[in-house]
Structures are given as C-alpha cells and as structure tokens.
Structure 1
Amino acid sequence: MRPIARLLLLSLSLPCLPSFAEPVAGLYEVREPVTSQQPADREQALQRALDTLVLRLSGDPAALRNPGLAELRKDPQQLISKYGYDDEALKVDFDPLSSERALSRAGISLWGANRPSILAWWLNESVDAASLVGDGQGSAAPLRAAAQRAGLPLRLPLADLPEQLVATADTLKASSPDALREISTRYGADALLAVDAHEEEGKWTAQWKLWLGDSREQGNAEGADAASLAEAVLWAVNQRLAPRFVAKPGAARGLSVQIEGADLARYAELDRLLEPFAAHLQSVSGNQLNYQLNASPEQLRAQLALGGLHELAAEAPAASAPAEGVATDPATPPAAPAAPRDPVLRFGW
C-alpha cells in the first residue's frame, strides 16, 4: 500500500493498536508424518502435504477432487522450495507465489494469509475432573498443532482462577457468548471459539461454537484422542470461515472504496486490513479516505467486518437538469444516458 506520506509518518508514531486479522505464520509450511525415508514413502508424503495445503488455503474438501489438482499431484515438487526430515515427519516448504498461481489456474478459490484471530475457550471434561486449557499448559500443544495444520491464528487464555470460574461447561454451551465477552477483551481476538470436550472410555467428543461479529457457527466433532479431536474441530472451523474470505478466481476486480469516519488510529487499522488487496490510498478529505484496490465486493465486506466496519448506502448521483433558458422540444427523443460507472463502495464505523 502506498499511503499519503503525512499519514504514514504520523502512523509510525502510534502506540500498539488492536489487531484485526493477522497473518498466519508458516501458512505454506506443512509437516506430514512418515514411517520411513524411502522414496515411495517420501512421494506419498509430498502428495499428502499438497492436499493439506489445498485444504488450508481453500477450506473446501471438494477442491481435492479438482482435476487440475490431479496433475499437480503427479509432480508436487514443482511447487516446493525445499523439504527435509524432522523427527518422524517430512517438513515441506511450498513456494507461496508458485502455489497460488497453480491453484488459481486449477480454478481453486484461495483464502489469503490474513485471517481472523481466534480465542479458544476449550474445556476438557472427564468422569473425574474438568480442566480449562490455558496458554503454556501441556494440554495446549495439540490445539496449537491443529491450528497450525488448519492455518488458523489461535490464541489461548491464561486460564487463571477468574477465567476458570466463568468458562464453565454451561457457559461454553450457551447460545450467546455474552458471559465470555468481558473476560475475552484482554486478548483482542476477532473471534471466540467455545469448545466443551468430553473424554469417556478412551473416546473424545466435543460440542463447539464460533462467534465472529454477529454470526455464529456450531458443530460436533469426535476423535480417538485429544490431538485428533483438536484437528477435527479446527478443520471444521477452517471450513466454516473460509467461504467468507476466499477469492474466487476471476472474481477480484478494481474497486473504488470510500471509508467514512476515519481518524489516525483507524487509518493504521485499515492499512493492515486492506493489505491483501493491493490497496492504494487515493485521497483524504477530512475524515474520509478514498482507496483503489483489487477484490471482490463480498471478500472486501468480510475483511472490513473484522475491523468493525459496516457498509453504508451508496451516494445518490446528482440529477442533471436542462440548462437555464434552454427550451426542450417534446418531439426530440431524449439523449441516451451515459453508461453507469461502477459504484463506489462506502463503509464506516
């Protein structure tokens, strides 16, 4: 983005601001378990790594049946910058640019690296006890690994005593997140994930709910152990969120966007929110910012909603009137109207 110099210099002096969406670290890095380092096992692991990347970027299991992906599976190394063995896994680094181009050519819709940050209130229940998963606990490791695999920026609470008293099973199963909102504000996340997980006779099941803005998603999941349950929940979250943010091939176009009610702090927020769309700040008028960017309207609306912006009604075009003193001839047909220009999308807080 190339903002006006005055705003750029001032924004650099701002204190740390709340983050709306954040880039996922290691989005193009995939680890696949292997049983050996034999060539046949390696090739199968590379193909599985490609499938994992496609799911991570598209959120669409149907994308794995795309005919174009079958061709890429024959030679996944054309998309790979490097790979190597790490313990009992093959670590694969995909080249972002080559991967995005190849998957887009195959007609697969892609979700960019800037994704909603998710605060997970995860309660593990067994016959004997219940435990809220907190940052730094051993029980957090499966959640972090599953979030990395699903391409989601996950945050976990401290799980201190005040939070344990609030984040009970009844709270996590409630239809509204109101009881969680106050204790969640300290973490500055975009979305809240409430998970009530149960272990019984060696089998794990969970009910989960996800709130992002005014929308709610929910579902059930099961797994043979805590790690597989975490993967089931977070892949489900990926697949529910992705349709709001994916860029369908050919859907992006040049858009004119007007932001109302901006101040210096909000300009810095917008700079981060609009970064995926190659946005250019065209002009500033009072508290109004005017941008040119490349996106689909649906994708732009979903992204700006992360920053608390809502769409405003389009400004009505000024009606043209005949010049003063010029008579009109009723027999003369009216001139054909000029072709309408693409409307300016308007947003504000």
Structure 2
Amino acid sequence: MRVIARLLVVSLSLLCLPLAAQTVSGLYQVREAVASQQPDERNAALNRALDTLVLRLTGDPQALQNPGLAALRADPQQLISRYAYEVGPPQVLLVEFDPVSAERSLRQAGLVLWGANRPAILAWWLNDSSEGSALVGDAQPAAAVLRSAAELRGLPLSLPLADLDEQLVAIPENLAANQPEALQPASARYGADALLTVQAREADGQWQAQWRLWLGDTREQGSAQGADQQALADAVLLAVSQRLAPRFVSQPGAAQALQVQVQGANLPRYAQLQGLLAPFAARLQRVAGQQLVYSVNASPEQLRAQLALAGLQEGPAPAAAVDPALAVPAVANPAVLQFHW
C-alpha cells in the first residue's frame, strides 16, 4: 500500500502522455475461411488456425516444421476453448484458443514466444492501379483489408487520416526514401513505435509491393506479391511480423535475474511500464521519487527491445535519493540495468 500511495503523489502532469506499444487483443482468436461446415473442412480449418497461431506467437516460419507440434496437429482441439461459424460471405470458422494451454504446449514443444505487448505500427500505404495512386486512409474502405491482415498476423496497425496535407507528403519518392525524414512530421501526431511504408502496384492481374519498416534506429525492407489486395496485405504484414519478432523473443536459457532501475517515472509511465514488463515476471521492489526499481527475469537484449517501445534510453540515470523505509531485500547479486526517459 505504501508503494501505491507513493506512486499517487508522483507527478500527474503527463496524464495525457500518448502510449505507443499496444497489447494485442484477440491474439488467441483466429478466423479461417471455410467452404462448408463438413467435418473434413472444419478439421482442415482448425489445423490452419493452429498454424496461424504459431506464426503469430513466434514470428518464425520454421516453427511450423517443429516435430513437437505433431501431436497438437493431430488433435488441435486440445488447445481450443470454443469454435463457431460466422455467416459470410465468406463463411468463416472462428477459433478461440485457450491462452494458458496454448502457451504451455508451444513452450513444451521448444518454441520461444512473442508476448501480446507489441510495437504499434503506423502504415503509409500507397496503392497504384489503373485508376491512379491512392493513400489508404483510416476511414476508407481499403483500410478494412489492411486491418484484417494485421489482425491475422497479430500486429497493432494504425493508418493515417489521409487528409490533403498527408496525401501531399505520402508521394512515391518519400515512401521509397532510405530515411523517413519527410514523413516524420506527419507521423508524429499518431505516436507509433514503428513506421511502415508500402508502395503497392497492380500489374497483369497481380499485386506487388515494396515495403520499408523503421523501428528506432533500425530499418527492414522487402518485397511481396499477391493475387489480390488482401493476399498482398497479408504477405507484407507476415513479413513484417517475421522481422520484428526476433527482437522481442529470447532463446531458451537466455533469461536471467535482472534488476531494472527506471528514472523519470510518473503515474502514466508507471502504468506503461507495468504492461511492458509483464512478460518478465516483473516485481516492483522500490519507489524513490521518480525512480522505479524492478526485479525481472529476462535476457538483457529482449528487455532493451521491450523498453525501447516506451522511448526509454539505457545509461546512468540521474541519482535519486532512496527512502530507507521503502527498501526491500533485492535478488542476490542481480545484474543491474539502468534506463531513463
């Protein structure tokens, strides 16, 4: 109670602080199109749903070849809490996996998992067809295609409003640039962690795209193609997921006991940290002014990637006085990492 009381007197001046990293809702809920409600079609859809879940939670296409999944594929219903048909078109089988059973079984199969707290992505998506070029805006019909693909791949995706000013800046030259300087002023209002630019083009009845992704100081890029806009959107976002996931998962045995000291906290930042550190069995040990001290179990690399989502920088934080009355026994000789806003 004393810790909570101390937090309540931390500065409330930034209650409107925009949060970027998001907890993905519906991560264990998968929709698969089906041609009928026949048992064979249903069973095939349940297996496809399991594959979709594995890709969402690992971001690793090689994980699908893991022999430890054989027993789960033989009976995926052991991981499923419920399934139901949704009226189409297309007709869809909605599959809800039990998070606890699914995570436990996939870890037992030797897979490393990506948690539900993921970087928020702002997508500047330009479609170029015979009808001309169009920036996909948040309220446009084409946005539904991108949201559906993002949901399928477990990514928190947002789109710009695509007002006149944004259409003037989202031109092919800026989307294809090696650095996103031209897009950054327009992107700042959305408070995303990652910036995705996509130039999609229709040619000979096929869609293809060049994409670039910036997260912090790193850039990824690639190409994708699909028979239609839905297939293309899925191909792009699947590739993005596969590039992002390795930054946020730790290999077996890589986790260790760490003490994390965070300087510059206030009440909204405390709430943000609670979400970011949740996958690491975090325990708040001490509050001293604007300093929060946690014990966690994680690899340093995974922890750094996770905290970067909140704009935290690693390095010596300004010294803060520690109230002896709040001190609690720490983990014996843990490695100490310091971060600050």
Asked if Structure 1 and Structure 2 have the same fold, meaning a TM-score greater than 0.5 normalized by the shorter chain, the answer is yes
Residue type at the aligned position of 1:189: A
Which of 161, 168, 174 is equivalent to 1:171? Answer: 174
The alpha-carbon deviation at position 248 of structure 1 amounts to 3.1
Of the structure 1 ranges 10-19 and 209-218, higher mean CA displacement relative to structure 2 is found in 10-19
Contact preservation (8 Å) 1:20, 1:273: no
Distance 1:128 1:84, change over 3 A: closer
User: SS at the partner of 1:289?
Assistant: strand
Matched, 1:224 2:216: no
Q: Which runs of 5+ in 1 are unaligned?
A: 315-339
Aligned twin of 1:288: 291
In the alignment, which residue of structure 1 is the partner of 2:19?
19
TM-score after normalising by structure 2: 0.90
Any idea what the Cα deviations from partners look like across 1:53-84, whole Å, max 9, x if unmatched? 00011000000000111111011001000001
Secondary structure of the residue aligned to 1:123 is strand
- Which residue of structure 2 lines up, in the alignment, with residue 52 of structure 1? 52
Q: CA-to-partner distance for each residue in 1:272-291, whole Å, 9 max, x for gaps?
A: 32233232221123433211
Cα RMSD after superposing both structures? 2.0
Paired residues of 1:280 and 1:293 also in contact (CA < 8 A): yes
Tell me if the contact between 2:153 and 2:238 (Cα under 8 Å) persists in the aligned partners: yes
SS of structure 2 residue aligned to 1:101: helix
Distance 1:194 1:312, change over 3 A: same
Unaligned runs of 5+ in 2: 318-331
Superposition map of 1:263-342 within 5 A: 263-312=266-315, 341-342=333-334
Q: CA deviation at 1:126?
A: 1.7
Pair 1:11–1:249, CA change in 2 (3 A): farther
The structure with more radius of gyration: 1
What's 2:136 paired with?
133
Q: Which residue of 2 aligns with 1:248?
A: 251
**8 Å contact 1:3–1:281 — kept in the other structure?**
no
Q: Which amino acid aligns with 2:78?
A: Q
The change in CA–CA distance for 1:128 and 1:61 in structure 2 (over 3 A counts) is same
Structure 2: distance between partners of 1:197 and 1:185: 24
CA distance in 2, matches of 1:12, 1:26: 34
In the alignment, the residues of structure 2 paired with residue 54 and residue 299 of structure 1 have an alpha-carbon distance, to the nearest angstrom, of 20
The answer to whether the aligner puts 1:34 opposite 2:26 as a matched pair is no
Runs of 4 or more above 4 Å deviation: 10-14
TM-fit CA distance, 1:117 = 0.5
Is 1:107 matched up with 2:106? no
SS at 1:179's partner residue? coil
The alpha carbon displacement at 1:308 in A equals: 1.5
| Residues 265 and 90 of structure 1: CA distance in aligned 2, closer, same or farther (over 3 Å) | closer
- Please state how far the C-alpha of 1:162 moved relative to its aligned partner: 0.4
Q: Assess if the C-alpha contact under 8 Å between 1:20 and 1:269 holds in 2.
A: no
1:231-259 deviation per Cα after TM superposition (whole angstroms, max 9, x unaligned) = 00000000000000124344333321112
Structure 2 counterpart of 1:308, one-letter code:
G
Shift of 1:263: 4.1
* Residue 89 of structure 2 corresponds to residue 81 of structure 1: no
Corresponding residue of 2:8: 9
1:344 maps to: 336
Identity rate of aligned residues, in percent?
Answer: 63
CA deviation after TM superposition for structure 1 residue 20, in Å: 3.0
SS of alignment partner, residue 178 of structure 1: coil
- CA distance in structure 2 between the partners assigned to 1:7 and 1:117 by the alignment: 30
Which AA in structure 1 matches 2:335? P
Question: Which residue identity does 2:333 align to in structure 1?
Answer: R
Q: How many pairs does the alignment contain?
A: 323
